[in-house]
């Protein structure tokens, strides 16, 4: 067996989603003490890598995202989840930057996850896959960058769970990150967020089709449980004012109440749609693994109870972004990150954007976010001399 990874796309330029296979001799060592070998990472790139290999931006996706940032999604047929932000002449300008996004380990869009085949049994891992942490996700991304021969990143950015990865990147590989934009995130999950995740996991595991995680080998699918988990989670991504503005108490295709349990209200129909469309593109066990990874994330505990220790001596330039109506990852948690960065002597700016769109604001058309991203990246580009190095 080869010592190096197979199927590596080193050619600069835009191409379809790539898959890289790391052999048994290059295992991913996990925080749990276990390892994954062989390891597969699926990723997507946009734009061109410059001659100096200095214009790479790593985009880290959120819980239910994947590597399809700015292209048509192969499963849903919809635009990429950050197509508003990434592309030619957009804030993350693919005419200037080389953008990389990898499906996280534990995911279900090509990277090793619970649905992948366990070489020891020839069957899907299911719950036999070791638990994954955010740090494990970042280690896998670092392995990918090593294979692509990209030593340093011009920027790492992402929102929510993606923001957690951004923070972990700077804490674990400070010399590899020139700038970082964590959005709508926190240095550790709150008790409330852990509680929401537990409700979702219990919904999945209560579905009789889950079969203790063996549903793939037994030919079933816990669709109803996963749909309920998605419905509950989706509520947390929005704000009360956004829900009221969009739906209020409007009825769904009827003039009067049915006095039954059909979807009388538009908000009920909307949540049911969100739940059922989600199960067509996401694996139930992956939902368990990734929510657990977010629950375990705690940069404070990882650095002797002092968050500033995670960033001490960092030369990375930071722009931390929060939203006024985000009650899932409120501004207070983002300010804690800023205070820790200040205490560590880091170069940091902070932007709180006034919007009523809730946690999902980072995925939506929010002009202030677009301007913040564009301005910060341009300033960092000048500081790094990308004007001369860009293609």
Q: Are residues 241 and 350 in the same domain?
A: no
Q: Are residues 37 and 177 in the same domain?
A: yes
Domain for residue 276, yes or no?
yes
Judge contact between 38 and 4, C-beta under 8 A: no
Judge contact between 293 and 284, C-beta under 8 A: no
On the question of a cis peptide bond just before residue 246, with omega within 30 degrees of 0, the verdict is: no
Q: b/e per residue, 29-57, with b = 16+ CB within 10 A? A: ebbeeeebebbbbbbbbbbbbbeebbbbb
Domain for residue 10, yes or no?
no
**Which candidate in 61, 189, 197, 359 is catalytic?**
359
SS3 122: coil
Q: Are residues 54 and 113 in the same domain?
A: yes
Q: Are residues 140 and 41 in the same domain?
A: yes
- Check which CATH number belongs to the domain holding 357 and give it: 3.40.50.1820
What is the total count of domains within the chain?
2
Q: For residue 262, indicate whether it is catalytic.
A: no
Q: For residue 160, indicate whether it is catalytic.
A: yes
**Which candidate in 239, 326, 360, 361 is catalytic?**
326
Mean pLDDT across 40-57:
96
Domain for residue 218, yes or no?
yes
Strand order in the sheet with 317-323: 15-22, 39-46, 98-102, 56-59, 153-159, 177-183, 317-323, 347-353
For residues 144 and 10, what is the distance between their CA atoms, to the nearest angstrom?
A: 11
**Which candidate in 160, 322, 325, 361 is catalytic?**
160
For residues 184 and 191, what is the distance between their CA atoms, to the nearest angstrom?
A: 17
SS3 41: strand
Domain for residue 7, yes or no?
no
Q: Are residues 39 and 170 in the same domain?
A: yes
Q: For residue 359, indicate whether it is catalytic.
A: yes
Q: Are residues 23 and 37 in the same domain?
A: yes
Q: Write down which residue in 272, 292, 312 finishes a domain.
A: 292
Q: Are residues 47 and 70 in the same domain?
A: yes
The domain of 75 spans 15-189+299-389
Q: Return the H-helix or E-strand segment holding 288.
A: helix 284-296
State residue 389's pLDDT score: 39
Bridge partners for 351 per DSSP: 321
Q: Helices (DSSP H) in the chain: which residue ranges?
A: 134-147, 161-172, 191-206, 223-237, 240-246, 266-278, 284-296, 299-302, 331-343, 367-384, 386-389
Q: Are residues 224 and 277 in the same domain?
A: yes
User: Distance between the two ends of the chain, CA-based, in angstroms?
Assistant: 37
The closest of 69, 18, 14 to 47, measured between CA atoms, is 14
Q: Write down which residue in 292, 310, 341 finishes a domain.
A: 292
The closest of 56, 39, 44 to 140, measured between CA atoms, is 39
For residues 48 and 57, what is the distance between their CA atoms, to the nearest angstrom?
A: 11
Q: Are residues 34 and 162 in the same domain?
A: yes
Residue 322's pLDDT band (boundaries 50, 70, 90)? very high
- Check which CATH number belongs to the domain holding 276 and give it: 1.10.1740.110
Q: Return the H-helix or E-strand segment holding 136.
A: helix 134-147
- 137: Cα within 13 Å, side-chain hemisphere: 35
Residue 250 has pLDDT above 90, yes or no: no
Q: Are residues 50 and 172 in the same domain?
A: yes
Threshold 0.85, pTM exceeds: yes
List, for residues 61-112, the tens digit of each pLDDT value: 999 999 999 999 999 999 999 999 999 999 999 999 999 999 999 999 999 9
Q: Write down which residue in 263, 292, 321 finishes a domain.
A: 292
Residue 194 has pLDDT above 60, yes or no: yes
Residue 242 has pLDDT above 80, yes or no: yes
Contacts of 176 (CB under 8 A, 6+ apart): 142, 145, 151, 152, 153, 169
Q: Are residues 106 and 239 in the same domain?
A: no
Q: Are residues 148 and 40 in the same domain?
A: yes
Residue 334 has pLDDT above 80, yes or no: yes
Phi-psi region of 18 (alpha: psi -120 to 50; beta: other; left: phi over 0): beta
């Amino acid at each position: 067996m080869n010592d190096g990874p197979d199927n590596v796309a080193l050619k600069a330029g835009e191409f379809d989603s790539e898959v890289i296979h790391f052999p048994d001799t290059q295992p991913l060592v996990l925080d749990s003490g276990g390892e994954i070998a062989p390891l597969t990472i699926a990723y997507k790139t946009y734009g061109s890598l410059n001659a100096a290999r200095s214009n790479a931006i790593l985009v880290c996706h959120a819980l239910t995202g994947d590597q399809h940032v700015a292209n048509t999604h192969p499963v849903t047929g919809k635009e990429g989840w950050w197509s508003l932000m990434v592309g030619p002449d957009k804030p993350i300008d693919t005419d200037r930057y080389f953008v990389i996004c990898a499906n996280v380990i534990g995911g279900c869009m090509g990277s090793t996850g619970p649905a992948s085949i366990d070489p020891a049994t020839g069957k899907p891992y299911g719950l036999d896959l070791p638990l994954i942490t955010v740090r494990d996700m970042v280690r896998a991304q670092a392995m990918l960058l090593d294979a692509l021969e990209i030593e340093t990143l011009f920027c790492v950015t992402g929102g929510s769970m993606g923001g957690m990865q951004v923070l972990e990147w700077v804490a674990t590989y400070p010399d590899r990150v020139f700038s970082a934009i964590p959005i709508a995130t926190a240095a550790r999950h709150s008790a409330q967020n852990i509680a929401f995740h537990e409700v979702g996991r219990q919904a999945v595991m209560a579905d009789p089709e889950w079969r203790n995680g063996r549903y793939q080998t037994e030919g079933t699918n816990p669709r109803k449980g996963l749909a309920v988990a998605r419905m509950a989670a989706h509520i947390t991504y929005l704000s009360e004012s956004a829900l009221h503005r969009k739906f209020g108490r409007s009825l769904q295709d009827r003039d009067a109440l049915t006095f039954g349990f059909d979807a009388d209200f538009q908000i009920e129909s909307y949540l049911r749609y969100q739940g059922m469309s989600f199960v067509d593109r996401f694996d139930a066990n992956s939902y368990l693994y990734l929510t657990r990874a977010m629950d375990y994330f705690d940069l404070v505990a990882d650095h002797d109870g002092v968050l500033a220790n995670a960033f001490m001596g960092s030369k990375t330039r930071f722009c931390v972004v929060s939203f006024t109506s985000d009650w899932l990852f409120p501004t207070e948690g983002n300010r804690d990150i800023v205070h820790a960065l200040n205490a560590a002597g880091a170069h940091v700016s902070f932007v709180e954007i006034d919007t009523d769109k809730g946690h999902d604001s980072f995925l939506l058309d929010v002009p202030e976010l677009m301007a913040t991203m564009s301005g910060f990246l341009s300033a960092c580009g000048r500081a790094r001399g990308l004007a001369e190095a860009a293609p």
